[in-house]
Amino acid sequence: MTENRTVLILGAGIGGIALATRLRRLLPRAHRIALVDQEAAHVFAPSLLWLMTGDRTADQISRPLNALAGRGIEVVHGTVERIDPHAKAAWIGGRELRADHLVIALGAALVPERIPGLSQAGHNFYSLTGASTLRDARLAVSRGRIVVLIAAMPFKCPAAPNEAAMLLEYDCRKRGVREGVQIDLYTPEPGPMPVAGPQVSQALRQMIEAKGIGYHPEHAVTAVDPARRRIRFANGAETDFALLAYVPPHGAPKVVQEAGLCAESGWVPVDRETMQTRFPGVYALGDVAGITLSSIGRPLPKAGALAHNEAEVLAYNIAREITGRGASRRFAGEGACFIETGDGRAGFGSGNFYGEPAPQIRLRSPSVLLHWGKIAYEKYWLWRQF
Ligand SMILES: Cc1cc2nc3c(=O)[nH]c(=O)nc-3n(C[C@H](O)[C@H](O)[C@H](O)COP(=O)(O)OP(=O)(O)OC[C@H]3O[C@@H](n4cnc5c(N)ncnc54)[C@H](O)[C@@H]3O)c2cc1C
């Protein structure tokens, strides 16, 4: 009989929850699974876009993390203040927790303060608060320009800002104000979802532009003037706005940086098939992990679908290490995501990011059925995990 082991998972977002719940099904109860988060509730981030358009409430897309305790997962509330990857230990509220297997699933921190004026001028729809204030502020806009701004790369969910622009455009039509409102999307990227390849990127850009949305690639914001409601870009361009919805710059959480876990990329380097860091028994998955796609020299996108798939692989491998049962698994780079396009429709991007000589991603045209697929997935996630 194996000794009782502790798996300590830092971060109860999509990756951490998927790992904890899968592991709990695979590991005998004698082994401890501790899941740490600073928040009391999990918010299903993909649904923030529907919260923004008034189609969801915060309660509908949140679940209390304590609900996982009833399933044999030890839920620890508190902020991770320090991580020692050599000792496989973390400090939460001054208390030290030691592990046999330590998993870092702390996601990406949102750092709007990197761009002067940004947080004072606009709404960060990547957070529950920002999506909620945007939901209310949009109702006051019946003329002028709505700007959807991607402040920096990389950012999680390459599809989300494109979806936000199309959903806001649909919202203006539903509110009967579309004629007086111009919608523009500004991004430092060369095109939407460039990692998916030129054909997918071009097809998505056409979908956006067909709705009369101005698409402005290669525009890196340098500053926002909240008083004059103007945005300045590194290429010398400027624009005004009546309403600003932004994706803030992202970075690895400070506690992860301070633990010496990050590489030059700013993220935690891992083996792309096993999520193992350079420290034995220490893993990183989801948004906090940095994986470079050797085929194209770009990072693997940060997305819940990928975090989930990585977590599944890691759960089987940790369970195997502890119990000696089951086959080892490898993350093969597969992922998929729905892309809301407005009018009650969604497209679907799916494929293999580890494909050679380039990621092999396919985009299915928007349909009502795919929109319902996205809704069904939201319900499934919240029901299955909680
Ligand atoms: C608007 C929006 C739409 C999206 N749509 C999609 C989509 O359609 N499809 C898709 O695949 N992805 C989507 N994503 C991206 C997806 O949500 C993320 O990629 C995914 O959540 C990453 O999972 P994670 O577990 O790595 O990190 P997260 O889910 O961000 O979880 C990290 C957790 O760590 C906790 N934490 C951080 N620091 C600390 C600390 N110091 N102490 C304690 N706890 C801490 C946080 O509270 C959080 O709960 C979307 C994201 C947004 C914002």
CB of 65 closer than 6 A to ligand 1? no
Indicate whether residue 80 lines ligand 1 (CB < 6 A). yes
26-52 average pLDDT score: 98
The share of the chain scoring above pLDDT 90, in percent, equals 98
pLDDT tens digits, one per residue of 131-149: 999 999 999 999 999 999 9
Q: Distance between CA atoms of 21 and 26, rounded to whole angstroms?
A: 9
Determine the length of the chain: 386
Q: Is 282 in the pocket of ligand 1 (CB under 6 A)?
A: no
302 Cβ inside 6 Å of ligand 1 = yes
Mutate to test the pocket of ligand 1, among 8, 10, 14 (most ligand atoms within 8 A of CB): 14
Q: How far apart are CA 191 and CA 164, in angstroms?
A: 16
- Token pair recorded at residue 187: 């991004």
Question: 3-state DSSP helix/strand/coil percent for the chain, to nearest 5?
Answer: 35, 30, 35
Residue position matching structure tokens 């993390």: 65
Q: State whether the beta carbon of 46 lies less than 6 angstroms from ligand 1.
A: yes
Range 170-197 average pLDDT: 97
What are the backbone dihedrals phi and psi of residue 85, each rounded to the nearest 5 degrees, phi first? -70, -25
From 9, 37, 68, 381, mutation site for ligand 1 pocket: most ligand atoms within 8 A of C-beta: 37
CA neighbours within 13 Å on the CB side: how many for 210? Answer: 9
**In angstroms, what is the span from residue 146 Cα to ligand 1's centroid?**
26
Q: pLDDT (tens digit, 9 = 90+) per residue, 175-184? A: 999 999 999 9
Strand order in the sheet with 221-225: 221-225, 230-233, 238-240
Mean pLDDT of the 278-284 span: 98
Query: Residue for token digits 């009391």?
Result: 40
- The pLDDT tens digits for 84-121 are 999 999 999 999 999 999 999 999 999 999 999 999 99
| pLDDT bucket at 3, cuts 50 / 70 / 90 | confident
Report how many helices (DSSP H) and strands (DSSP E) the chain contains, helices first: 9, 27
**Which of 129, 250, 258, 287 for mutating ligand 1's site (highest number of atoms within 8 Å of CB)?**
287
Whether residue 160 has its Cβ less than 6 Å from ligand 1: yes
- Dump pLDDT digits (tens) for 205-242: 999 999 999 999 999 999 999 999 999 999 999 999 99
Residue nearest to atom 16 of ligand 1 (CA): 304
Whether 45 lines ligand 1, by a CB cut-off of 6 Å, is yes
Segment 304-327 mean pLDDT:
97
Is the peptide bond prior to 253 cis by the omega test (within 30 degrees of 0)?
no
Average pLDDT, the chain: 97
DSSP 180: G
Helix (H) or strand (E) holding 192: none
Task: Give the model's confidence band at 2: pLDDT under 50 very low, under 70 low, under 90 confident, else very high.
Answer: low
Q: Taking 60 as the threshold, does the pLDDT of residue 1 lie above it?
A: no
Segment 29-41 shows an average pLDDT of 98
